[in-house]
Amino acid sequence: MRLADLQAAYRSYLLSGDSAALAPAIVADSFDGAERLAIYRNNFLISLGEALKANFPVTLQLVGADFFEQAARRFVLAHPPQRPCLFEYGAGFADYLRDLPHLSAVPYVAEMARFEFARIAAFNAPVEPAVTPDALAGLSPEQLESLPIRRTRHARIVSARAPVLALWQAHQAAEPDLDAIDMTSRPHALLVCRPEQALMFQELDLSASAFLLAAENETSLGTAAARCGAVDDATLGRIIALALQLRLLALGDRGA
């Protein structure tokens, strides 16, 4: 068999578990081809399940190891990694958990997965130059208004209803104390970012999250500011100061 065809046969076997097409290419002796291949498929599924456990440690605690392993196995088969860097693996895991019927009564599980993936993404985002207060100091109001900006890649916004941040923080203890957490549903936005070495999390008010969401793709400072709604200049100034202090904004390409 040509190598490309052999590898395509491995691909369909590893994703389906059906070894009928591939087993004849394997030498059978004390074990037959299917048994030998199963060792590799087992390793593929278990190792990627372990990678998801490492990337979603609190989600794992919330659902327990048995449930997590089953969900991870199905997720791995439906959404195997596309790249060899596993610290990036699991971008779709939160959506996958959200859509599981078994979890419909506990929507905070998928929200936790979304938060945990934002942590990974913020941690591994490339370091890029951020807009500084000095860069803005000399600009006229018109120049400020039209300044092309976008959110830096370490700055992630997570929408949640459950108290995800409090839950996550509680699970950093060896024996999480969950009694004090108010589980009342309350729509809010969390900022996950990495301005320096350490990750930072904080809840954003509606106008700040609207501003940062507007800057997800390149836009102008004026357009993003307009998305804050009817806020006074002091509030807008506070939002922009926060964004500059935490290095949340990069200069857009049109301004480079």
Is position 2 an interface residue for other proteins (rule: CB under 8 A)? yes
Span from 6-14, 106-114, 132-140, 167-175 in contact with other proteins (CB under 8 A):
6-14
- Of the two residues 4 and 256, which places its CB atom closer to other proteins in the complex? 4
Q: Phi then psi for 85, rounded to 5 degrees?
A: -105, 105
Is position 48 an interface residue for other proteins (rule: CB under 8 A)? yes
Q: Show contacts with other proteins in window 123-142 (CB under 8 A).
A: 123-127
Structure tokens, 213: 């969401």
Residue 144 CB, nearest approach to other proteins (Å): 29
DSSP annotation string for 142-177: HHHHH-EEEE-TT-EEEEESS-HHHHHHHTTSSS--
If you ran DSSP here, which 8-state letter would residue 219 be given?
Answer: E
Q: How many residues bind other proteins (CB under 8 A)?
A: 46
Torsion of CA 249, 56, 37, 10, to 10 degrees: -20
Q: What x/- string results for residues 49 through 68 when contact with other proteins is judged by CB under 8 A?
A: -xx-----------------
Quick one: which of 31, 78, 92, 178 contacts other proteins (CB under 8 A)?
31
Structure tokens, 9: 């046969």
Contact 155, 119 (CB under 8 A): no
Is position 36 an interface residue for other proteins (rule: CB under 8 A)? yes
Is position 77 an interface residue for other proteins (rule: CB under 8 A)? no
Rounded Cα distance, 169 and 165, in Å: 6
- The three-state secondary structure class of 198 is coil
Question: Nearest-CA neighbor of 227 among 242, 240, 214, 243?
Answer: 214
Beta strand 156-160 with 188-193 is: antiparallel
Residue 228 CB, nearest approach to other proteins (Å): 29
Is position 80 an interface residue for other proteins (rule: CB under 8 A)? yes
Residue 124 CB, nearest approach to other proteins (Å): 3
Q: Show contacts with other proteins in window 133-192 (CB under 8 A).
A: none
Binding site for other proteins (CB under 8 A): 1-4, 6-8, 10-11, 14-15, 24-27, 29-31, 33, 35-37, 39-40, 43-44, 47-48, 50-51, 80-88, 123-127, 194, 197
